[in-house]
Amino acid sequence: MKLPIPIFDHSVYQCSIGCWSMILIVVIAGCGHDIDRTSTNDDERAEVPTFVQTTDETFAHDVLGHPNPVVVIMSTRWCPECTKAKPHIRELANQLKDKVRFREVDVERNTFLAEKYDISQYPTFLILVDGQVKERVIGTDELSQLEPKLRPIVGPATSASHSP
């Protein structure tokens, strides 16, 4: 997978006095974090764990209708911080697999959910209980707060790594 590159629109327009002018429109999308352009290894990126995707259409069933708490990862495909957070979230998901459901939403493809939950920074982690947002963690700097916010909701971990 290649990193996104700027999209160029080379359009030529004729002025009202007969001269030609070229307008160059450059669109560069980013999440405000530096992108590691030194890594070109597609296999390295392919190994990043992914989560079950939910969409505008399936969110009510996958998340709101689920009896257990649900952590929703609001992210984009191009955000390096989202990719960086996934191994930590995967580890947490494995620890809490019987108590918490984890789902991911690509906010670019599911704009209704992005707007409904006021998502403007990536990644954003929502903890929903009984269909209501109980906690919100924004960005990887706050990622260490996700587990402490989940503990009162779900109790102690069932993982062997937390056994005495």
Q: pLDDT tier at 156 (50, 70, 90 boundaries)?
A: low
Task: Tell me which amino acid residue 119 is.
Answer: I
Active-site choice (15, 19, 31, 79): 79
**Residue 36: pLDDT above 90?**
no
Q: What is the H or E stretch that residue 116 is in?
A: helix 111-116
| pLDDT at 46 > cutoff 60 | no
Mean pLDDT of 47-55: 75
Per residue in 93-136, pLDDT (tens digit) is 999 989 999 999 999 999 999 999 999 999 999 999 999 999 99
Whether 82 is catalytic: yes
Tokens representing 4 are: 């996104």
Output the pLDDT for position 107: 96
Which of residues 47 and 146 earns the better pLDDT score? 146
56: which 2 tokens?
């505008």
What is the CATH architecture assignment of 42-155? 3-Layer(aba) Sandwich (3.40)
Q: Which of 15, 19, 31, 82 is catalytic?
A: 82
Q: How far is CA 148 from the centre of its chain?
A: 20
Q: Measured in Å, how far apart are the chain's first and last C-alpha atoms?
A: 42
19 has catalytic annotation:
no
Name the pLDDT band for 11 (thresholds 50, 70, 90). Answer: very low
**What pLDDT score was predicted for residue 132?**
96
Residue 48 is predicted with a pLDDT of 45
What is the pTM for the complete model shown?
0.67
Q: Give the pLDDT band of residue 155 (cuts 50, 70, 90).
A: confident
Residue 27, pLDDT score: 35
Q: The tokens of 113 are what? A: 């959910």
